[in-house]
Amino acid sequence: MRSHRGKLLMIALVCVALVVGVGVFAVVHSKTAASARRQQASAAAAGFLRTWADGNLSALPALTVSRSAAVSQAYNNLDLSLGIGGPATAHATSAAQAAASPIKVETGTPIGSGNVITVPATVIIDVPGLGTWRDPITMHVQTTGSKALIAWSPQTIAPALKTGDHILVTRTVPTRAAILGTDGQPVPAGADVSALVGTLGAASATQAKADPTLRTGDIIGQSGLQASSDATLRGAASGAIAVVDPSGATVATLVRWAGRAPAPVSSTVNPTMQAVAAAAISNTGHPSALVAIDTTNGAVLAAASNPAGYPRALLGQYPPGSTFKMVTLTAALMAGRTLTSPTSCSPAATVNGETFHNASGESFGTIPLLQAFAVSCNTSFINLAMSLPTGTLATAAKLLGCDTGHAPLPVPSFGCSYPATATGTAYAASAIGQGTVLTSPLAIAAIAAAADSGTWHQTHITPGAAPNSHPLPAAVVAGLQTAMRAVVTSGTGTSANLPGTPVYGKTGTAEIGSGSNPPTDAWFAAFRGNIAVAVVVEDAGFGATAALPLVTNFLTTVTH
């Protein structure tokens, strides 16, 4: 009897165990199926958003329950509003481009266990010209067997969006601020001023892509101060993204950008001097240029070119002729010569079979270096250069910024290029600013400025100290000033001897062709007070007659 009851108990226990096991299996299976549906839904949601991000809008309807073409149209309209796409336009067509897509997606943990799973997500969109929009959305995914499709509605784009509503993006670009002159007022527009402070132009697609506050076509600085200070001058656009109903009323503002107010930027341009400079060279009848510099720091006060269109004042490359004797005199003084040192102003000087002459065949015999500079005797300076220690002239050229021909300004510009390794006739020619020596009016003005201040300053167009400066030896400064004053009082530049503040200068006549009577560019470089000026008039003859009067007209107006 006990044995029979024991068998019945054993059977009962086995049955209970089977029932419990089946129940546990059912629960585990249910949890596994729900987890699989959530994973399936998450993948479907991410896939849908990636398809949009890749620009494959025509494939979107097939990923939804309704399969309606309205889905692709809705995202096409959204892309157009945001400025990130258009009809049949892909945002990305390769893995590399996908990484640079304006749309990024972050999906959260799926919620739910039935056939409809909720997938939270954040869409991060780089809105051109405004910034980043983080759009939190909720996606409902319907899972059936092996399929998971998006139960799409307008709320999939933005929770506040309903059927009939649309997304509106507004953007307000502030008025660009001005570049100010030394008087604190906006620098008047003009071709010369544009060459000096930089230019404006429409932003390219590449430029816009590099700056989230830009859109293609926005006006931005393309060179000079306009470019280097662009963010300050331009500010940043304000804007918003809103949901708007069919009547035009705003239902919700999804994101807002405050923007940034533009601010003016100061320059070294003196508007009064700029106008005077332009007027001074307006009636020469020859291409010409004038540059004025603050001798105390190298700041460019004015730069005018005639005719307009090519900035020859800043970018012109000319042989400087006898204005370069300021550099050769510097070399002689650095080598221990003095203004009383004798020089041979012979009618001609021959170096390695090539003969150099003085203007009009002049000859003064043995004269002091001071007089040779004042009357601009070519043969004196050629003979002098040939007697200097090797490399002295190249050292002086470098000291005065005349070495590499680099652009001294952040706008298209040219400095001064000296052939440091020249020998023989090429070296002799360089001593009088011929051969392969090339300078701009900007560079010659900087050399004249150094003679006044005692320091060569790299020219610049922003207030403050020069980017680079080289002090000159005291004996060089004293010698240059004495010699340049002698040019005006007793030499080739006597018509520049204005009343009032003394004028110091150097004439130059640079041969620009070949033959027995080659054409010449006319030069004059000078300083008065703390303003240095250089003028070149192309193919105009002698510096004393064609260039000097333009400098005196300028200095008479802007100095006393």
Q: With pLDDT > 90 as the criterion, what percentage of the chain qualifies?
A: 85
**For 29-44, what is the mean pLDDT?**
86
Q: Is residue 483 packed enough to be buried (19+ CB in 10 Å), middle (13-18) or exposed (0-12)?
A: buried
Task: Report domain extents, the chain.
Answer: 2-89+100-159, 179-266, 271-558
Q: What rounded mean pLDDT belongs to the chain?
A: 92
For residue 174, the 8-state DSSP code is P
Asked if the model's pLDDT at residue 24 lies above 70, the reply is no
Question: Which residues 6+ apart lie within 8 Å of 15 measured at CB?
Answer: none
Is residue 10 predicted with pLDDT exceeding 90? Answer: no
Over residues 346-359, the mean pLDDT reads: 94
Residue 397 has pLDDT above 80, yes or no: yes
| Predicted confidence (pLDDT) per residue in 403-439, tens digit | 877 899 999 999 999 999 999 999 999 999 999 999 9
The pLDDT score that the predictor gives to residue 469 is 96
Task: Between 261 and 16, name the one with better pLDDT.
Answer: 261
Q: Cβ of 86: how many Cβ atoms within 10 Å?
A: 10
User: Whole-angstrom Cα distance, residue 524 to residue 509?
Assistant: 9
Judge whether residue 96 has pLDDT over 90: no
More confident residue, 514 or 382: 382
Q: Which residue has the higher pLDDT, 332 or 5?
A: 332
Query: What letter would DSSP give residue 79?
Result: H
Mean pLDDT of 258-272: 97
| CA dist 322 → 274, 316, 434 (Å) | 26, 17, 8
Q: What are the counts of helices (DSSP H) followed by strands (DSSP E) for the chain?
A: 18, 24
Residue range 57-65: mean pLDDT, rounded? 97
Pairwise CA distance, residues 380 & 391, whole Å: 19
Q: Give the torsion through C-alpha atoms of 545, 549, 550, 554, to 10 deg.
A: 160
Confidence at residue 4, expressed as pLDDT on a 0 to 100 scale: 53
402 token code pair: 């005349």
Rounded percentage of the chain residues whose pLDDT exceeds 70:
92
Pick the CATH number of 2-89+100-159 from 2.40.50.140, 3.40.50.1100, 3.40.50.720, 3.10.450.100: 3.10.450.100
- Which pLDDT value is given to residue 309? 87
Beta strands in 30-115 (DSSP E): 103-107
For residue 14, give the H/E element and its range: helix 2-53
Q: What is the pLDDT of residues 120-131, one digit of tens each?
A: 999 999 999 999
pLDDT of residue 360: 80
Query: Looking at the predicted structure, is the pLDDT value of residue 1 above 50?
Result: no
Is residue 347 helix, strand or coil?
A: coil
What is the per-residue pLDDT for 89? 41
- Residue 146's pLDDT is what? 83
Angle at 420 between CA 416 and CA 422, to 5 degrees: 120
Assigned architecture for domain 271-558: 3-Layer(aba) Sandwich (3.40)
* Residue among 506, 511, 510, 492 at smallest CA distance from 551: 506
**What is the mean predicted confidence (pLDDT) over 123-148?**
94
Do 271-558 and 2-89+100-159 have the same topology in CATH?
A: no
Provide DSSP, 432-484: TT-TT-EE-HHHHHHHHHHHHHSEEE--BSSSSS-S-EEEPPHHHHHHHHHHH
Q: Rounded to whole angstroms, what are the CA distances from 18 to 7, 28, 29?
A: 17, 15, 16
Provide the pLDDT confidence category of residue 299 given band limits of 50, 70 and 90: very high
Name every residue whose Cβ is closer than 8 Å to that of residue 214 and which is 6 or more positions away in sequence: 128, 129, 203, 207, 208, 220
* C-alpha pair distances (Å), 30 with each of 17, 21, 365: 20, 14, 116
C-alpha to C-alpha distance for 504 and 483, rounded to whole angstroms: 8
Mean pLDDT of the region 85-98: 48
pLDDT, position 7: 53
- Answer whether residue 392 shows pLDDT above 90: yes
Give the pLDDT confidence score for residue 21 in this predicted structure: 43
Model pLDDT, residue 351: 97
Strands 469-471 and 503-511: unpaired
User: Average of pLDDT values for 325-351?
Assistant: 97
Selection from 144, 142, 131, 188 nearest residue 48 by Cα: 142
User: Measured at the alpha carbon of residue 203, what is the angle toward residues 197 and 208, in degrees to the nearest 5?
Assistant: 125
